[in-house]
Structures are given as structure tokens and as C-alpha cells.
Amino acid sequence: MGSADSDIVFQSYGRCCNNKSFFIDFYDRFMGSSEAVRALFKNTDMPAQRHLLRNGIMQLVLHARGMPATKLKALGESHSRKGYNIRPEWYGLWLESLLVTLRKHDPQFDDDTALAWRRAIEPGIELIRGAY
Ligand code: HEM
């Protein structure tokens, strides 16, 4: 991953993450993508969860910029079979929901931005998924 990717991603996220409706739209999309995913958030305080995800995505972006993986390792633990039991195949839905929501909210989003996001955050996602 070149640092050019992480610059594109950092700026793209900056255009999205201060808008509360970005996170509302993300979870609408993500929970709409599968009955099993919706069931996982049945008892979740969604306003709090949206706030936590704002930081979680930032951790993925910072990891792409060379930050140590400490916070992502903790997410790997909490999402593992000992924790929320998040099955590895669900991360694909998560990433696709994120990209659709970015395309909707970032006025400068294009195919290069999408590729930069994929390349930048896939290692961090892999770290969380791999802890299963
Ligand atoms: C790599 C992508 C993901 C990131 C960055 C992420 C981020 C987070 C964060 C920051 C939290 C709160 C902190 C914690 O409890 O450890 C959380 C909780 C949670 N996440 Fe994720 N997550 C990801 C993928 C997923 C996927 C794919 C699912 C389900 C299919 C999922 C389901 C959950 C659930 C059920 C909770 C707990 C909700 C509750 O407290 O009721 N996450 N996630």
C-alpha cells in the first residue's frame, strides 16, 4: 500500500465522518444486507455503536498510515469466537456496505477512491477477521 492511498482515504473519510447520517446510512445498509447481521445488533445501543464505529474506521485508516495495531488487536479479540462470534465471511458484507456508503456521502468519490480504500484498510480488516 503506498502512502498515496492512505492520503486519499484520510481525506475521503474527513469528508464523511463528521456527518452523523453517514453512520446511520452505513448501519442501515449493513443490517439490511443480512438477517444474521441484523440479529447481532438487536440489543445494541445504536447511537453509541455509531460513535464507536467512527473511531473503529479511524483505527483502520491510522493502521494504513503505520500506527501500531494494538487497538485493532483488541477489536480482533472482541469480534472473535470467544467474543461476539463474528464469522469471517461477514467482513465482506461490512466492507461492501462501507464502500456503498462512502460513495453516497463523499462528493469526490470515484473508482480510484474505492480502490484506495480497499487497499488501505484490507490489512486492518484481515487482522480483525484473522483473530477469529
Ligand atoms: C473490520 C471491520 C469492523 C470494525 C472496524 C468494527 C468496529 C467495532 C467497534 C469499534 C466496536 C465497539 C468496540 C468493541 O465492542 O470491541 C464493535 C462492536 C461490535 N461489532 Fe464490529 N467492527 C467491524 C466488523 C464487524 C462485523 C463484520 C460485524 C458483524 C457481522 C460486527 C459486529 C459487531 C457487534 C455485534 C458489536 C457489539 C455490539 C454491542 O455492543 O451490542 N462488527 N465493532
Cα atoms in the Cβ-side hemisphere of radius 13 Å centred on 88: 6
Ligand 1 centroid from CA 56, angstroms? 8
Residue 36 has pLDDT above 90, yes or no: yes
Tell me the C-alpha to C-alpha distance, in Å, between residue 20 and each of 24, 48, 79, 119, 132.
7, 12, 24, 25, 30
Placement of cell 445498509 in the chain: 29
Residue 40: give the domain boundaries: 3-130
Ligand 1 centroid from CA 79, angstroms? 6
Tell me: the pLDDT tens digits for 12-27? Answer: 999 999 999 999 999 9
How sure is the predictor about 1, in pLDDT bands with cuts at 50, 70 and 90?
A: low
Cα atoms in the Cβ-side hemisphere of radius 13 Å centred on 62: 12
Pocket test for ligand 1, best of 84, 118, 128 (most atoms within 8 A of CB): 84
Ligand 1 centroid from CA 25, angstroms? 16
Closest ligand 1 atom number to CA of residue 52: 10
Tell me: the pLDDT tens digits for 96-123? Answer: 999 999 999 999 999 999 999 999 999 9
**Domain count across the chain:** 1
Can you give the pLDDT at residue 91? 98
Q: Rounded CA gap, 108 and 112, in Å?
A: 10
Can you give the pLDDT at residue 2? 59
Tell me: the pLDDT tens digits for 49-88? Answer: 999 999 999 999 999 999 999 999 999 999 999 999 999 9
Can you give the pLDDT at residue 116? 97
Closest ligand 1 atom number to CA of residue 94: 27
- Give the CATH number for residue 32: 1.10.490.10
Cα 55 to the chain's mean position, in Å? Answer: 9
Spatial contact of 106 and 12, defined as CB atoms under 8 Å apart: yes
Residue 3 has pLDDT above 90, yes or no: no
Ligand 1 centroid from CA 43, angstroms? 13
- Nearest in space to 16 (alpha carbons), one of 119, 100, 120: 100
